[in-house]
Chains A and B, each alone.
Chain A
Amino acid sequence: MTAIAMPAPDPEVLARRQDILKALQAIVPGEGVIHDEREMRAYETDALTAYRQLPLIVVLPETVEQVSKILKYCHQNDVKVVPRGAGTSLSGGALPLEDGVLLSMMKFNRVLDIDYDNRAVVVQPGVTNLGITRAVEHEGFYYAPDPSSQIACSIGGNIAENSGGVHCLKYGLTTNNVLGLEMVLITGEVIRLGGKHLDSEGYDLLALMTGSEGLLGVVTEVTVRILQKPETARALLIGFPSSEDGGRCVADIIAAGIIPGGMEMMDKPAIHAAEDFVHAGYPRDVEALLIVELDGPEKEVDFLIGRVEEIAKANKASHIRISQNEEERMTFWAGRKAAFPAVGRISPDYLCMDGTIPRRELPRVLSRMRELSDKHGLGVANVFHAGDGNLHPLILYDANKPGELDAAEAFGADILRLCVEVGGVLTGEHGVGIEKRDLMTDMFSEEDLKQQQRVKCAFDEKHLLNPGKVFPVLHRCAELGKMHVHKGQLPFPDIPRF
């Protein structure tokens, strides 16, 4: 284990392992309870692989009733629970706890209802993101949010993380595409939110659940909005002599009233790594490469391609290519989509960061990042969702070299602090998890964090669901609830009245 510490396991719970096992086996019969160390290894980490921990027991329920009984048991017996989908979290959101039950939702893998007239699909949470699109694409529909792990990641996990993707500037994040949920509280109570209708009144618990990183409840059913696929999509591949030119081009495109379906930027190290790996035909002599994809009706796309080309020329673009067919468009994307494995080829390990900045700060952030790279003695390659300012710096390191992981984490923390300093945020789409947990105080005041934790208290007063994630300090709910009351006269000489 490295720098980020998890809560100390409770020896009293560890001592009760056999009792807990028996209780879970009584709820989920057969192979749905895993307790053999070798078999539990499959669950010891997620996509933040630097951190590993065997859970107390793994349980894979198949029905809502089982989920409810498991949670109720854990609540009554003070056992922690870590919910898990496909385990593709990049922030350690599904990292097990030594004294906690790992609740895998991957047996909830059925599509329950496809309703084209209402453009809604109801699925179980273990269905993959791409699985939803696969179920409706023969009718020309798709589910818009497309995190890069979409082939593997589950929709339940997408809810937990409020996942984004390349297309979210135009089509929104998970939270903008979810219509309803069924979930189970830690008490075992089953709650339904929303449905095929829009905008349920009362408190927007759907908004709270989406992006809550498994701390508030366990999702057992999801209703999402599906869209008709755009008629066509075309892309431009644009190279710039400097990141300033690229950044200005992005701002000008948006100022012209154009919201591209996707707009991605890469810096020189990322361009070279990608080009060496997939030979997508990227120019090597540029400092920034922009992929702009326009989707929609054919006429509109053709018209906008022309507009974007003009804007690129006005911003000193040194290379412009326009996709003439689907194959060429896919080639433009091939390098970007392979950027992570491409970086994996040039470095034994890498850490993927996820801050968001106001786009105008891009040149300053990139130049500061180069300074930080020198300071920490590690390389960095940048891919960037240019439209929404979401940066993915890839920090290159070698886990086998003593101290390099620590240096990489310190470098990453410096980058995220920089994002906050220029008016941005710690995470645009990967979540806080354990990875950015201890940086939360750089973005939020103690009071801000306390109010967030009070939300947790409304859902899970005993802090049993996924503790140790998101919040650096766990406050007891009784302590959070205290009020410092100063009674007195109306203290309002300064406030205009009446």
Chain B
Amino acid sequence: MDATFKPQTAKDVEVAVKWAAAEDQPLEIVGQASKRSLGRPVQTAHVLNLSKLSGIDSYEPAELVLTVKAGTPIAEIEKLVDENGQELSFEPMDYGPLLNVDAGQGTVGGVLAANLSGPRRLKAGAARDHILGMEAVSGRGEIFNSGGKVVKNVTGYDLPRALCGAFGTLAVATTVTLKVNPKPETSATFVLSGLGAARGINALCKAMGSSAEVSGAAHLPAGIDGDISRTLLRLEGFETSVDYRFKTLEDLLKSYGPVTRIEEQDSRKLWQTVRDVRPFAGVDNPVWRISVAPTVGPKLVELLEKELKINAFFDWSGGLIWLMCLDGLVNDQHIRAAVDSVGGGHATLVRAVPSIRSSVAVFQPQPAPLAALSKRLKEQFDPKGVLNPGRLVMGV
């Protein structure tokens, strides 16, 4: 019997997972299923859908702390904190456009399970840097709490952080506590035009190493969201400070050519385009997300352009490369070899049809001792392998 369970309480989740473990019936864990096509396909008869486990438990703006049920829509959370002059400063990306599903979907549990972030990752950290506490159900079907509801805590192992990015393969989060931050008063984008990737990334790294407190650093080559290349630096904060730091950047980067300024409203739209990888939306070609040391980004793309037909652009000061294969193939061996040749990093196949995602390594393959340790960790949380089996690695 195939079933979709929609638990409304942590206790319901516990019952469902306990049953799954007892009966050896693996579960696919979803929220709104907006990122279902990220990672390897999970093939289970049953689905545990957390979208009904939703709601704000407590929100105390003055404490910078928010506690919510894991199935709460991320859009609802962003709206709530925005109304209080705050934000999730890791700026979680919306995979909807890239994965060809509706924009604006997804739950906070999904954001954490995939450890999503956006351009501000560089300055503010990823989702995992903003989690403070978690109630979750392990694959053993047992509820446990870890972390706390205060912004500074080192009591016990940092399980909440470690469970971020685990794609629901270790435990099912039921309640999460996040750190929120004040929303900047205003923002603007500093733009250099017409630079090649190497020179553009060089400018970004220089700016990141300055005291200008840049909160977004991207390079869009010609053909990506415009006819000429643009090198973008975002400044956020109090208005006097943004203007002052804009001048700092002008002085620092004057040898890189003429500068233009994009004001707040257009700046927001532009960074949303970068964040959600909109230049690669609306088509089906395979897309890779590659994380390397920023300075080697241009070299990596240059290497791959010689061998493959690709489009690529850079976020995170050059360290995050969004790469689309125009030949329709995933080219995983080329891409992994190129990443290794520039000093290593992580390449993840974020868009491909399920048959491909089942047959190639979607995530960066790990050396044997690390893979073995990860497997042992999985067994400690989920000894029967009932939570999202195979989502990260085949057979685990």
In the docked arrangement, what's the CA distance between A455 and B320, Å?
A: 31
Query: Which residue of B is nearest A163, CB measured?
Result: B154
Q: Is B158 an interface residue (CB 8 A)?
A: yes
Stretch at the interface among A235-243, A341-349, A351-359, A397-405: A351-359
Residues of B within 8 Å of A204, CB to CB, are: 115, 128, 161-166
CB interface residues, A 164-201, toward B, < 8 Å: 164, 168-169, 172-173, 175-176, 185, 189-193, 195-201
In the docked arrangement, what's the CA distance between A176 and B125, Å?
A: 7
Stretch at the interface among B1-9, B97-105, B218-226, B257-265: B1-9
CB interface residues, A 458-498, toward B, < 8 Å: 458-459, 470, 481, 483, 485-488, 490-492, 494-498
Q: Is B40 an interface residue (CB 8 A)?
A: no
In the docked arrangement, what's the CA distance between A443 and B392, Å?
A: 33
| A164 → B minimal CB distance (Å) | 6
Q: Is B148 an interface residue (CB 8 A)?
A: yes
CB interface residues, B 271-330, toward A, < 8 Å: 291-295, 316, 319-320
Q: B22 near A172 (CB under 8 angstroms)?
A: no
Q: A185 near B369 (CB under 8 angstroms)?
A: yes
In the docked arrangement, what's the CA distance between A199 and B348, Å?
A: 12
Known: A208-B162, A454-B380. A497 touches B63 (CB 8 A): no
CB interface residues, B 136-192, toward A, < 8 Å: 138, 140, 142-146, 148-159, 161-166, 170, 181-185
Option from A162, A202, A297, A498 in Cβ contact (under 8 Å) with B154: A162
Q: Is A389 an interface residue (CB 8 A)?
A: yes
In the docked arrangement, what's the CA distance between A36 and B117, Å?
A: 53
Q: Which of A251, A298, A490 has the most chain B CB atoms inside 10 A of its CB?
A: A490
Known: A204-B115, A251-B62, A451-B138. A487 touches B23 (CB 8 A): yes
Option from B3, B316, B346, B373 in Cβ contact (under 8 Å) with A201: B346
Residues of A within 8 Å of B158, CB to CB, are: 162, 175, 207-208, 210-212
Q: Is B208 an interface residue (CB 8 A)?
A: yes
Q: B364 near A202 (CB under 8 angstroms)?
A: yes
| A378 → B minimal CB distance (Å) | 24
Q: B248 near A455 (CB under 8 angstroms)?
A: no
Q: Is B332 an interface residue (CB 8 A)?
A: no
Residues of B within 8 Å of A431, CB to CB, are: 154
Q: Is A281 an interface residue (CB 8 A)?
A: no
Q: Is B355 an interface residue (CB 8 A)?
A: no
Q: Is A370 an interface residue (CB 8 A)?
A: no
Q: Is B210 an interface residue (CB 8 A)?
A: yes
Q: Is A304 an interface residue (CB 8 A)?
A: yes
Q: B182 near A451 (CB under 8 angstroms)?
A: no
Option from B62, B129, B245 in Cβ contact (under 8 Å) with A359: B62
Q: B241 near A197 (CB under 8 angstroms)?
A: no
Residues of B within 8 Å of A212, CB to CB, are: 157-158
Option from A115, A358, A487 in Cβ contact (under 8 Å) with B65: A358
Q: A427 near B369 (CB under 8 angstroms)?
A: no
Residues of A within 8 Å of B376, CB to CB, are: 457-459
Residues of B within 8 Å of A445, CB to CB, are: 144-145
Q: Interface residues of B, CB < 8 Å — how many?
A: 107
Residues of A within 8 Å of B138, CB to CB, are: 451
Query: Which residue of A is nearest B392, CB measured?
Result: A202
Option from A118, A199, A229, A452 in Cβ contact (under 8 Å) with B205: A118
| A106 → B minimal CB distance (Å) | 23
Residues of A within 8 Å of B211, CB to CB, are: 140, 228-231, 296-297
Option from B150, B374, B384 in Cβ contact (under 8 Å) with A203: B374
CB interface residues, B 93-139, toward A, < 8 Å: 115, 117, 121-122, 125-126, 128-129, 138
In the docked arrangement, what's the CA distance between A197 and B342, Å?
A: 12
In the docked arrangement, what's the CA distance between A257 and B241, Å?
A: 14
Q: Is B18 an interface residue (CB 8 A)?
A: yes
Q: A358 near B149 (CB under 8 angstroms)?
A: yes
Residues of B within 8 Å of A168, CB to CB, are: 152
Query: Which residue of B is nearest A200, CB measured?
Result: B346
Q: A195 near B345 (CB under 8 angstroms)?
A: yes
Q: Which of B52, B293, B378 has the most chain A CB atoms inside 10 A of its CB?
A: B293
Q: Is A299 an interface residue (CB 8 A)?
A: yes
Q: B16 near A492 (CB under 8 angstroms)?
A: yes
Stretch at the interface among A44-52, A272-280, A418-426: A418-426
Residues of A within 8 Å of B379, CB to CB, are: 458
| A371 → B minimal CB distance (Å) | 23
Q: A203 near B377 (CB under 8 angstroms)?
A: yes
Known: A358-B60, A385-B152, A490-B3. A190 touches B369 (CB 8 A): yes
Option from B154, B163, B213 in Cβ contact (under 8 Å) with A428: B154
Q: A427 near B373 (CB under 8 angstroms)?
A: no
In the docked arrangement, what's the CA distance between A230 and B241, Å?
A: 13
Q: Which of B148, B364, B366 has the most chain A CB atoms inside 10 A of its CB?
A: B148
Q: B150 near A425 (CB under 8 angstroms)?
A: yes
Q: Is A219 an interface residue (CB 8 A)?
A: no
Q: Which of B52, B64, B211, B294 has the most chain A CB atoms inside 10 A of its CB?
A: B211
Q: Which of A201, A443, A455 has the most chain B CB atoms inside 10 A of its CB?
A: A201
Residues of A within 8 Å of B156, CB to CB, are: 432, 440, 444, 448-449, 452, 470
| B293 → A minimal CB distance (Å) | 4
In the docked arrangement, what's the CA distance between A9 and B292, Å?
A: 47
| A151 → B minimal CB distance (Å) | 21
In the docked arrangement, what's the CA distance between A359 and B148, Å?
A: 14
| A250 → B minimal CB distance (Å) | 9
In the docked arrangement, what's the CA distance between A255 and B62, Å?
A: 6
Q: Is B196 an interface residue (CB 8 A)?
A: no
Residues of A within 8 Å of B395, CB to CB, are: none
Q: Is A97 an interface residue (CB 8 A)?
A: no
In the docked arrangement, what's the CA distance between A359 and B319, Å?
A: 37
Q: A483 near B140 (CB under 8 angstroms)?
A: yes
Q: Is B240 an interface residue (CB 8 A)?
A: yes
Option from A195, A358, A448, A496 in Cβ contact (under 8 Å) with B8: A496
Q: B205 near A117 (CB under 8 angstroms)?
A: yes
Q: Is B59 an interface residue (CB 8 A)?
A: no
| A490 → B minimal CB distance (Å) | 6
Residues of A within 8 Å of B154, CB to CB, are: 161-162, 164, 173, 211, 427-432
Known: A173-B152, A358-B65, A423-B149. A259 touches B157 (CB 8 A): no
Known interface pairs A195-B293, A358-B65, A490-B3; 14 further A-B residue pairs with C-beta atoms within 8 A, sorted by A's residue number: A162-B154, A201-B165, A202-B370, A204-B164, A208-B158, A358-B60, A425-B153, A428-B150, A448-B144, A451-B146, A452-B146, A459-B376, A492-B16, A496-B8
> Which 9 residue pairs are nearest across A and B when measured between Cβ atoms?
A300-B241, A257-B182, A196-B293, A207-B161, A299-B244, A454-B380, A458-B376, A388-B152, A251-B62
What would 21 A/B residue contacts be, using CB atoms closer than 8 Å?
Answer: A117-B295, A118-B205, A175-B161, A189-B369, A198-B291, A198-B320, A199-B117, A199-B291, A202-B364, A203-B378, A212-B158, A251-B62, A257-B183, A300-B241, A303-B240, A359-B63, A423-B150, A427-B154, A444-B146, A458-B377, A459-B376
Chain A positions near chain B (C-beta within 8 angstroms): 115-120, 140-141, 161-162, 164, 168-169, 172-173, 175-176, 185, 189-193, 195-205, 207-208, 210-212, 228-231, 251, 254-259, 296-300, 303-304, 356-360, 385, 388-390, 423-432, 436, 440, 443-445, 447-452, 454-455, 457-459, 470, 481, 483, 485-488, 490-492, 494-498
